[in-house]
Amino acid sequence: MNIIVCIKQVPDAKDVRLDPKTNTLSREGVQSIMNPYDQHAVEEAVRIKESCGGEVTVLTMGPPQAEAVLRQAISCGADHGVLVSDRAFAGADTWATSYTLAKAIAAVGIFELILCGKQAIDGDTAQVGPGLAMRLDMPYVTCVQKVRQAGETDMVVERMMDDGFDVIKVRYPVLLTVVKDINVPRVPSLKGTMKAKKAVIKNLTAADIDADPALIGLPGSPTKVVKVFPPESRGERCMLTGTIDEQVEQLVGKLRPYLS
Amino acid sequence: MLQIDKDLCIGCGICEDQCAFGAIHVVEGTATVGDACTLCGACVDACDIGALALTGTEKSVQMNLADWSGIWVYSEFRRGELASVSLELLGIGRKLADERKVPLAAVLIGYGTFDAAAKLVGHGADIVYRVDDEALRLFADDTYGAVMTSLIQEHRPEIVLAGATAIGRSFIPGVATLLNTGLTADCTKLEIRPEDGALLQTRPAFGGNIMATIECPATRPQMATVRPRVMKALEFDPQRTGKIVDIAPSAVQLQSRIEVVESVVSSGPKVNIQESDILVSGGRGLDNEKGFVLIEQLAKALNGDVSASRAAVDAGWIPYPHQVGQTGKTVAPKLYIACGISGAIQHVAGMQSADTIVAINRDKNAPIFNVADFGIVGDLYEILPKLIAKIEEQRGS
């Protein structure tokens, strides 16, 4: 089976801090990582490859340094890496991003299965996966928590719902977005790390994928950012004091509005 | 792209501080921009001397925006019930419709919807487009998406809102893609810009560390998903009148490429923690699975529900649907009690918009206390039983 996984490089949330004085994001020492959900998508792709055969391609749209997440995916078992990078892609919203990814995937090959993380932790939109499936005219299933069966012509998956889960049977080609419950990603092997080091990453520009300049990047994006601002800060915290019994007493007093 | 006027730039570095993406740096006294720039414009707003500008960024207007009128909300209906967010959307939808002086319509898709349409009218809808068909009993992205897309194409509303639920966040992005229009996810604030009637959509990004206001200037409809529990539903008013329009879906719209073999409701504690008013949340500090017995008791005493940090879920003490945080769910209850949760930024991102946050932790330096309204330092196994007893005593009296 030919599988492609769309991944994204994101800033590591644990390094992102709000400077309490200036109320701006302090980026000192912020590391870039592979979006956590995408690690699970890569892992699932590699597992399906291991049981059904085939190849796993990982693809990312981003600046040149995003190549690092492609190599990381290869060290965890992916076979090929594709970097879709062009200054013209900058500022893309989810609509322009799904257009760009669809053009890039069409330029790379034909895939029975496309995997994405549920969402990227920097934007948290969860819109690119469904948008990409629509552009490729494929059915899609979001928030997949388990692949029950990856068969010859179709697959059976569990999709997480707000009140439980749905069991869904769908024919290939299909796009799935995955949640972290689906698997535990492996740690790269030494062999994998060596392979990742030597891997040749394919580079694609806007011209290579025949993208319409009017549909990519900021000019191609239907949504525009009007302004960015820090969230309202929470009120002063109050540490309760006294013996445990006194503190519990005070807390119950504070919680009175919720006890009616 | 981002234009920097090197003559004007004084190299003050304010833009560098403002950039959430680390894309702009002052080099030899002048701001320079790198590849990480997403053209968000934060630096442009911050530059007091006007040395920065975004150029060539406008999508050309290809449609006559005036042809699109009216506010729509998608009313989620599953297992015989309307999702509460659907009523909340009618609350904000009513306000937007009144400001725009246009009707508010609800789209009801499902099977066996009975009095749901009347309920939508009572909560503020002027029109309900009802698509009730046995083939729509279970949610599927393609059938619901096809019905919704075709209704929007026919009636041309200027704004379409949906709940940021598992269902809304799944099929609405497909609809927006097909309609070639913009969609803003997880909005927490919606308002009309008085000058031109545009919808301003505000949402948290970067795990809640920054807020962004988004508009959709050149295409229609303007679409947004809205977080549950943020907007207020109107009281049900039986006097309110509205028109219910039944629509028969076409055979093509009902053709699905996915087959829902089974739809399973989770047993055990309620899992839809995004709809909860009160959450009692357990973390690594519980030390073991048995700690959740206490968490459940406290939740029960408060008429609340149980949630957890990632550490507790990873330890296998409670299933993933209960996880709050960046790789779990974002919740905004009225009261959130964090028990034995250290408060890593990934967790805080998922709960910081709760009205009141209580933290109980044995480590007085735990970062959870920085976002808590009330904090108690101590042993959970000593504090929780006392707290439960005291609350039950209060309730009893």
Please provide the average confidence, as pLDDT, over all residues in chain B: 92
Quick check: A121 pLDDT over 90? no
- The distance of A164 to chain B (nearest Cα, Å) reads 4
pLDDT band at A19; cut points 50, 70, 90: low
Residue type, A10: V
Quick check: A104 pLDDT over 60? yes
A243 in contact with chain B, both atoms CB, cutoff 8 A: no
Contact (CB<8Å) A170/B259: yes
What is the mean pLDDT of the segment spanning A12-16? 67
Q: Which residues of B292-307 are buried (b: 16+ CB within 10 A; e: fewer)?
A: bebbbbbbbbbebbbb
Nearest residue to B89 via CA among B213, B204, B214, B190 = B190
What is the mean pLDDT of the segment spanning A109-116? 97
- Counting Cβ atoms within 10 Å, is residue A64 exposed (0-12), middle (13-18) or buried (19+)? exposed
What is the reported pLDDT for B390? 93
Cα dihedral A132/A137/A143/A144 (nearest 10): -130
Contact B24, B9 (CB under 8 A): no
- Residue B199 three-state SS: strand
Predicted TM-score of the model (pTM): 0.88
What is the reported pLDDT for A24? 53
What H or E segment, with its residue span, contains residue B75?
strand B71-75
CA distance B351 to B371: 10
What is the reported pLDDT for B148? 98
Domain ranges of chain B: 2-54, 65-246, 273-396
Choose the weakest-confidence range: A33-37, A130-134, B1-5, B180-184.
B1-5
A179 in contact with chain B, both atoms CB, cutoff 8 A: yes
- Confirm whether B65-246 and B273-396 share one CATH topology: yes
Nearest to B266 among A163, A237, A255 (CB): A163
Kindly give the parts of chain B with pLDDT less than 50: none
Higher per-residue confidence, A128 vs B20: A128
Nearest residue to A215 via CA among A131, A139, A130, A120 = A131
What is the reported pLDDT for A158? 98
Q: What is the pLDDT of residues A141-160, one digit of tens each?
A: 999 999 999 999 999 999 99
Q: What is the pLDDT of residues A42-89, one digit of tens each?
A: 999 999 999 999 999 999 999 999 999 999 999 999 999 999 999 999
A227 in contact with chain B, both atoms CB, cutoff 8 A: yes
Strands annotated E in chain A: 2-7, 9-11, 17-18, 25-26, 32-34, 55-61, 80-84, 113-117, 140-150, 154-161, 164-171, 174-178, 201-204, 224-229, 238-239
What is the reported pLDDT for B49? 87
What is the mean pLDDT of the segment spanning A152-178? 96
CA distance A199 to A109: 19
pLDDT band at A122; cut points 50, 70, 90: confident
Residues of A in contact with B14 (CB under 8 A): none
Q: What is the pLDDT of residues B32-51, one digit of tens each?
A: 988 778 777 788 888 888 89
Residues of A in contact with B226 (CB under 8 A): none
Contact A179, A37 (CB under 8 A): yes
Nearest to A90 among B37, B206, B344 (CB): B37
User: Which A positions 6-35 lie with beta carbon below 8 A of chain B?
Assistant: 11, 13-14, 16-18, 22, 24-25, 27, 30
pLDDT band at A27; cut points 50, 70, 90: low
What is the reported pLDDT for B20? 73
The listed CATH number (3.40.50.620, 3.40.190.10, 3.40.630.30, 2.60.120.20) that belongs to domain A2-226: 3.40.50.620
The listed CATH number (3.10.105.10, 3.30.1360.120, 3.40.640.10, 3.40.50.620) that belongs to domain B65-246: 3.40.50.620
Contact A158, A96 (CB under 8 A): no
Residue type, B237: D
What is the reported pLDDT for A16? 61
Nearest to B204 among A90, A231, A244 (CB): A231
What is the reported pLDDT for B345? 80
Nearest residue to A203 via CA among A41, A55, A60, A6 = A60
What is the reported pLDDT for B56? 65
Q: What is the pLDDT of residues A210-246, one digit of tens each?
A: 999 999 999 999 999 888 887 776 766 788 999 999 9
pLDDT band at A28; cut points 50, 70, 90: low
Contact B331, B227 (CB under 8 A): no
In order, the DSSP letters of B52-73 are EEE-S-PPPP-S-GGG---EEE
What is the reported pLDDT for B1? 76
What is the mean pLDDT of the segment spanning A103-123? 95
- The distance of B155 to chain A (nearest Cα, Å) reads 20
What H or E segment, with its residue span, contains residue B175?
helix B168-178
Yes or no: is domain B273-396 CATH 3.40.50.970? no
What is the reported pLDDT for B3? 86
For B394, phi then psi, to 5°, come to: -60, -45
Residue with tokens 């004007």: B8
Question: Thinking of the domain B2-54, which architecture would CATH place it in?
Answer: 2-Layer Sandwich (3.30)
For B313, phi then psi, to 5°, come to: -70, -45
For A52, phi then psi, to 5°, come to: -110, -10
Residues of A in contact with B335 (CB under 8 A): 255, 258
pLDDT band at A181; cut points 50, 70, 90: very high
CA distance B112 to B99: 34
Please provide the average confidence, as pLDDT, over all residues in chain A: 92
